[in-house]
Structure 1
Amino acid sequence: MKPTGRTFIVSGGSAGLGLATVETLLDSDAHVAIFDLRPPQKPLVHQFRTKFWEVDITNAEVVAKAVAGAAAWAAETGAPLGGVVNCAGVGTAAKVLGSDGEPHSLDLWKFALDVNLTGTFNLTRLACKYLQFVPADGPDGERGVIIMVASSAAFEGQPGQTAYAASKGALVSMTLPMSRDLARHGIRVMTIAPGAFASAMTDKMTEKTRASLHRELIFPKRMGTAAEFAQTVKWIVECPYVNGETIRLSGASRLPGKM
């Protein structure tokens, strides 16, 4: 599918990997509906092809209204929906038993799953309600693509990542059955599992933690960049034969058992 002239919903699109995705899609002449708690803090070059919705991804009613609004905007602009990129997510850290002997907070567990897992599934299912009616495009009759964002933690979570790894691992497990569910509608489903990526979170790491992580990097011997993530999103959108898979974006690195 060519992103040109299509509308993509990007959750978590105001910063980090989501913002880089928004910019790359805009550079490809797409329209982008940004769902986030706050608007982007930097001006976008092609801002006339963007529209922002203030969305708490855990609020089902707000998400439903935003998706309906994005679908209506797509109809107004004549740029039909092309898919969803689920970048909204949170990182949580807590051991099953803390140093004080107290068990993992159930509220923190629910929060991780509500944002990373349920938020992704809910936005996807609601968007598909509209994607199924988009005119089929190209020789394959494609209507759209869903992209979910997991993590290397889905495969080798570190201590303190039980809730986070569970939420991201569930996305990996959902990818194939969801792609099989949506195949008859011409909608593809893919998941990206980034490894160590430069972010606001890694900027706050201590030098000791940063050095420990750097030792585990293979090649390139650096963290991934948001632009490389966005480049992967663009490739998925444009390559119709990638479907039902999880792509590890890790530079051959694996998370160590502990930092």
Structure 2
Amino acid sequence: MQIGEKTAFITGAASGLGLAAAQRFVAEGARVFMFDLDAERVSDQARALGDRAGWASGDVSNEQDVKAAIDKAVSQFGAIHINVNSAGIGSAGKTVGREGPLPLVQFNRIINVNLIGTFNVLRLCAAQMASQTAVNDDNERGVIVNVASVAAYDGQMGQAAYSASKGGIVSMTLPIARDLARSGIRVVTVAPGIFSTPLMEASPQPVKDALVDMIQFPKRMGAPSEFADMALNIVQCNYLNGEVIRLDAGIRMSAR
């Protein structure tokens, strides 16, 4: 899909990977609708991108919040061709720790935002895409880019909830791509490694140093702009579908 004059609905768009994707897409001639829980920050970032950006705030796991945002995006820009799902949260906690078993409410919260929230947004965006006219000779109507994590494959101690949420995104990629094939909608998941996002930057320096030490090459955190490069490539490569791509500089995380 050629990205020029297309519209992308991006979650987690106020910062990190989502913001980087929004900035890159606008630079390539697209329009972006930015969705984030932080109303003040997402509105500021949308204004900075000018009249090619719109925004709404809400919870990705709330059906009404997402429906209202999609309606606003379509009203403002006429269609949704691309959906990037980068909203997510993290929380560490061992299955059984010093204070007993991991609170179920903590596990549920991570699953609800990362996994259910991703599915909630993509299913509603896909319904909108399926109702639109195809945009190229392949009869393509949309592209969905989900964000998982390398923790889906080699999660560390204390990452049971986070790894489960991201593993769910990995596992549902192919069946959703199959579900949406007749509608001309592609689905691809990116599994980032250690990226310089607000979530990671909030970690203690010894934790960050230990993670970087596991990276092969280049031996540094990924830049959000590198995720944006990958998202753009996925949109533009029509033959890429039903796949999960590790974007991680060769990291394989140890148990701790």
Are the equivalent residues in 1 in contact too, given 2:115–2:169 (CA < 8 A)? yes
3-state SS, counterpart of residue 81 of structure 1: coil
Corresponding position of 2:50: 47
Corresponding position of 1:25: 25
Structure 2 counterpart of 1:195, from 170, 193, 196: 193
Q: How does 1:76-225 map to 2 (within 5 A)?
A: 80-100=79-99, 102-225=100-223
CA apart distance, 1:127: 1.1
**1:62-99 C-alpha deviation (Å, 9 max, x unpaired):** 11111122122222xxxx32121001110111111111
Structure 1: runs of 5 or more not aligned: none
Corresponding position of 1:72: 75
Give identity over the alignment, percent.
40
- In the aligned structure 2, how far is the partner of 1:138 from the partner of 1:13? 27
- In the aligned structure 1, how far is the partner of 2:199 from the partner of 2:82? 28
Are the equivalent residues in 1 in contact too, given 2:34–2:46 (CA < 8 A)? no
RMSD between aligned residues: 1.4
Are the equivalent residues in 2 in contact too, given 1:146–1:189 (CA < 8 A)? yes
Q: TM-score, normalised by structure 1?
A: 0.94
Q: Compare the two structures and name the one with the higher helix fraction.
A: 2
**1:96-147 C-alpha deviation (Å, 9 max, x unpaired):** 11113x1111111111111001111011111111101221122211111011
Greater CA drift, 59-68 or 172-181? 59-68
Greater CA drift, 1-10 or 200-209? 200-209
Structure 1's 7 and 108: CA in aligned 2 closer, same or farther, altered over 3 A?
same
- In the aligned structure 2, how far is the partner of 1:256 from the partner of 1:172? 20
The residue type equivalent to 2:229 in the other structure is Q
Greater CA drift, 144-153 or 37-46? 37-46
The residue type equivalent to 1:166 in the other structure is A
Are the equivalent residues in 2 in contact too, given 1:95–1:104 (CA < 8 A)? yes
- In the aligned structure 2, how far is the partner of 1:182 from the partner of 1:57? 21
- In the aligned structure 1, how far is the partner of 2:47 from the partner of 2:236? 23
Greater CA drift, 196-205 or 29-38? 196-205
Are the equivalent residues in 1 in contact too, given 2:177–2:186 (CA < 8 A)? yes
CA apart distance, 1:202: 2.8
CA apart distance, 1:45: 5.2
Are the equivalent residues in 2 in contact too, given 1:13–1:36 (CA < 8 A)? yes
Are the equivalent residues in 1 in contact too, given 2:92–2:159 (CA < 8 A)? yes
Corresponding position of 2:63: 60
Are the equivalent residues in 2 in contact too, given 1:23–1:44 (CA < 8 A)? no
Structure 1's 136 and 43: CA in aligned 2 closer, same or farther, altered over 3 A?
closer
3-state SS, counterpart of residue 96 of structure 2: coil
Q: TM-score, normalised by structure 2?
A: 0.95
**1:3-35 C-alpha deviation (Å, 9 max, x unpaired):** 111111001101011100000010011111111
Greater CA drift, 43-52 or 191-200? 43-52
CA apart distance, 1:42: 4.6
Q: State how many pairs are aligned.
A: 253
Moved over 6 A (4+): none
